[in-house]
Amino acid sequence: MDKYFFSQRPEKVAENLLGYRLVREIDGVKLEGEIVETEAYLGKEDPASHAYNGVTERNRLMYESFGKVYVYLCYGVHNMFNITAGEEDVGAVLVRAVKPLEGLDKMKELRQVDEMKELCNGPGKLCQSFGIDKSLNGCSVTEGGIRIVERGKKDFKVVETSRIGISEGKELGMRYCLADSNFLSRKNV
């Protein structure tokens, strides 16, 4: 995958990532899933974004580059997997959910669940199933230990809704989902 895909505006990257594959190898086992839900976060014009108040140690990656892994801890409990986006626009894309495709036994072991639909249907669950933590911060998603690769099917319907779990900036929308997916973190409203 070309890293310049991620140089587009964050909301364009978020929408276009749907259907692409998230791939990681752990202990010699390939883990793979189809991206079915994303959210875009912009810079200073987006009150829900980490970049809203300027550069900090936490959000520095959003300002420095695009196509890099940006992981943060939510509520001190759950890792959240983001990809920096925008060459001229500060931003990131939160990968909210994937449909598990390969390495299911390893994902179940990492998540400590048996139900396939419960493996990656939320950003914290996805990080558990793929072993994603802050040690991946700054890795390239086109050539690093966790990668985004070309999508499988390309003929699907995309739905845009309000982002989830935020108090400000809901009116901006920017949550993108595959309309017919059974693996979303929440049903489309």
So what's the pLDDT on residue 148?
Answer: 95
pLDDT of residue 59: 81
Each residue's pLDDT tens digit, 89-130: 789 999 999 999 999 999 999 999 999 999 999 999 999 999
Identify which of 144, 148, 140, 113 has the alpha carbon closest to the alpha carbon of residue 129: 113
pLDDT score of 172 more than 90 = no
Rounded to whole angstroms, how far apart are CA atoms 177 and 2? 23
Q: What is the pLDDT of residue 145?
A: 86
Q: What is the DSSP letter of 187?
A: -
Confidence of residue 137 (pLDDT cuts 50, 70, 90): very high
Listed by start position, the domains of the chain span 3-178
How far is residue 23 from each of residues 101, 129, 145, 167, measured CA to CA in Å?
10, 12, 9, 32
The per-residue pLDDT for 182 is: 93
What is the rounded CA–CA span in Å between residue 92 and residue 82?
Answer: 6
* CA–CA separation, 101 and 45 (whole Å): 36
Please tell me the predicted confidence (pLDDT) of residue 141. Answer: 95
pTM of the model: 0.93
Instruction: Give the pLDDT confidence of 6-15 residue by residue, as tens digits.
Output: 999 999 999 9
If one compares 27 and 172, the residue with the highest pLDDT of the two is 27
Residues of the chain above pLDDT 70, percent = 97
Q: Is 75 left (phi over 0), alpha (psi -120 to 50) or beta?
A: left
pLDDT level of residue 74 (50, 70, 90 thresholds):
confident
- Residue 152 is given by DSSP the state S
Specify the fold of 3-178.
3-methyladenine DNA Glycosylase; Chain A (3.10.300)
